Structure 1
Amino acid sequence: MKLYRFLSEEDTSAFCHKVTDALNKGWELHGSPTQTWDHTAGIMRCGQAVVKEAPGIYTPDTKLGAQ
């Protein structure tokens, strides 16, 4: 099955660490990163889609972060 996740975080090194962790767990970047201003929190937020091939059949109960 092909899995998809969208990672997001405040624009700090925490975002880079989150994406790096996913890459080291076998996820691959999908598309370009994105960045937007969070007016409510008054901060920049980053996002990056990642995909991964995994064995099994997808169900809505699949824990994507555990893959």
Structure 2
Amino acid sequence: MQEITLAEASLKAQQVEVISRMIERMIERNHEEIDDHDLSVIAGLIKQLSANVAVWLMTEEEKRAEQ
């Protein structure tokens, strides 16, 4: 996985938050049902975005521990 910057990690974390809020609103309003395919796509996107942020945080933690 390629390294990302703090700004990129922040943007990815914000994107995960937005996606999560959208899902919550869909459920609250009961206007749309999420089918299995859509749920799989959403889960994959959240996984990809959050994994990048997690890797960045772990890398930064290691750098700070070495100082």
Range class of TM-score, shorter chain: under 0.3
Whichever of the two has the greater Rg, that structure is: 2
Q: Which has the higher contact order (CA 8 A, sep 6+)?
A: 2
TM normalised by structure 2 equals 0.28
Per residue, is there more helix in 1 or in 2? 2
Q: What's the TM-score once normalised by structure 1's chain length?
A: 0.28
